[in-house]
Structure 1
Amino acid sequence: MTPVTSAAETAPRTYAWEIRADGLKVRVGRSRMAVDGLGLSLGTGAHGLLGPNGAGKTTLIRTLATVLRPTKGELEILGTSVRRTADHRALRRRIGYLPQDFGYYKRFTVREFVEYMAWLKEVPKADIPEAVQRAVERVGLADRADHRMKTLSGGMVRRAGIAQAIVNSPEVLLLDEPTAGLDPAQRLRFRELLHELGRDTCVIVSTHLVEDVAAACSDVLLFADGRLVFQGTPDELAAAGGPEHPGDSPLERGYSALLRDSGRQGGAW
């Protein structure tokens, strides 16, 4: 996989990959290694991160977002080592992050919430109104932009969260369970948005929904017990399983087969 450089960039990149990990370990608590010896290189495109509960997906996403620090190993994001905490502020301006749960002032309107997040990400003041409008439109909330957050449905709140994640036009976009609470029509629109974003952004989507990954991502990562046990295309994931494996689709059967081979039983559905 060759990283694609966005035509919109005015300065050449000096790094080969948007994300590169070598022997990455991240400990959660006093003893549990939630990410254990990860080696990974990711470029531009939409990458789906699958795995059962407790596999380490959220820990990995939080580490990529510079919320957690690596315990051992190396991690570079956009050519910058995350070991240097002094670089985190500048790096976060170039990252978009949607956690599983995010806080907001309930009296904020959608526009005010996304504006506030743009300000925190140090988007230039003159650019904020246009950036906010564009982000709100891309998630289908233009007609709700001046409604208070507390009046929104759960799915709309999630879409507002996606809007804040993309308001700074990030080079790396990290989405942890972004389709939680979305109805089927909203999930289809989200898949289209992922296709658009993946053209010039390194997007990592952590989800339990195998179908969303297959429809929106060209690259699939399967995590189990803190380790990467598979990386390939959706077709390669489907080919890993057979009729003897649990699942309602070839993708789910491939998922089950790979988890069985890794020594992890069960599944994400």
Structure 2
Amino acid sequence: MTHGKDPHMTPAVTAADLAPTTYAWQIRATGLKVRAGRRRMAVDGLDLSLGTGVHGLLGPNGAGKTTLIRALATVVRPAGGGLELLGTPVGGTGGTGRTGGAARTGDQRALRRRIGYLPQEFGYYKRFTVREFVEYMAWLKEVPKAEVPGAVQRAVERVGLADRADARMKTLSGGMVRRVGIAQALVNDPAVLLLDEPTVGLDPAQRLRFRELLQELGLDTCVVVSTHLVEDVAAACTDVVLFAEGRLVFQGTPDELAAAGGPEDVGDSPLERGYSALLADGGRERGTW
């Protein structure tokens, strides 16, 4: 008589379970430089390492947040320095990179299959239903065909749109469209999730649910959320990255951010006062504020 598991049963082990983890950080930038347009260096010598958890990317308008997110999403190429995502070097100019050169085309495609990305503004087909659009994005991300229906249903449910799955995109409110954008970013179950201003258009109740979703995702995913809403960072993020003029100003916990400010600093909350104090200090050190 045998006890426990049947010795003849094959354990459910996926290729991902067997693949070795060869990187210490999901995201690692070393002296990273990224241009916005031809001339302006929007990211200028950034050193940053991010692992599992929810990382809030804060900074004033024009700080370079969106350019950094686009580089992490492999939409734009680094102009210099090094960038690794999931242990894979992301292509730059070749001469100044510190990561050993650009990824091969096959590596880049494999890497993109493991990234979820919601840009600040994303395009969609208005005549598609919610389900059709998320299915289309799953196809673009090369989700195996047999897994697409389940992956789409899970993604739609996670953003609270199961009851609107068969509604056409053109009938949705702005907040619902944003939630579809989050669903398409989740559909491939990414190891790195990049969200640029994801709460734009969400009402207060939707923002609360989104914060809960972020906390769930951060248990086993590297999530980077670019936002100008300090309170969203406080509620959902394990780590705060403060970015200004293309450079890292601060990295730490929300509590550490709050402790950086005082009653004399601008803001309606401890976090906002810490944010203001750190930006002012960083600006004085560089002589540009």
- Short-chain TM bin: over 0.9
2-side partners of 1:75 and 1:181: how far apart?
A: 32
- Report the Cα offset of residue 29 of structure 1: 2.1
Amino acid in the other structure paired with 2:185: A
Q: 2:84 aligns with which of 76, 95, 103?
A: 76
Amino acid in the other structure paired with 2:249: V
Gaps of 5+ in 1: 1-6, 265-269
> Counterpart in 2 of 1:38?
46
- Report the Cα offset of residue 112 of structure 1: 0.2
- Report the Cα offset of residue 30 of structure 1: 2.6
- Report the Cα offset of residue 51 of structure 1: 0.2
- The number of residue pairs the alignment matches comes to 258
Moved over 3 A (4+): none
> Counterpart in 2 of 1:67?
75
Q: 1:195 aligns with which of 215, 219, 225?
A: 215
Which residues of 2 match residues 39-54 of structure 1 at below 5 A? 39-54=47-62
Which residues of 2 match residues 20-31 of structure 1 at below 5 A? 20-31=28-39
TM-score by length of 2: 0.88
Gaps of 5+ in 2: 1-12, 92-102, 285-289
> Counterpart in 2 of 1:16?
24
Q: CA RMSD in A?
A: 1.2
- Match of 1:69, SS state, is coil
1-side partners of 2:104 and 2:131: how far apart?
A: 31
1-side partners of 2:48 and 2:221: how far apart?
A: 17
The Cα offsets for residues 114-167 of structure 1, whole Å up to 9 and x where unpaired, read as 000000000000000000000000000000000000000000000000000000
TM-score by length of 1: 0.94
> How many percent of aligned residue pairs carry the same amino acid?
83
> Counterpart in 2 of 1:131?
151
The Cα offsets for residues 3-35 of structure 1, whole Å up to 9 and x where unpaired, read as xxxx99513311111000100001122321100
Which residues of 2 match residues 157-176 of structure 1 at below 5 A? 157-176=177-196
- Report the Cα offset of residue 85 of structure 1: 5.1
Amino acid in the other structure paired with 1:136: V
> Counterpart in 2 of 1:90?
110
2-side partners of 1:150 and 1:195: how far apart?
A: 30
> Counterpart in 2 of 1:3?
none
Which residues of 2 match residues 101-250 of structure 1 at below 5 A? 101-250=121-270
1-side partners of 2:71 and 2:260: how far apart?
A: 29
- Match of 1:10, SS state, is helix
Q: Does 1:57 align with 2:65?
A: yes
1-side partners of 2:253 and 2:57: how far apart?
A: 12
Amino acid in the other structure paired with 1:58: T
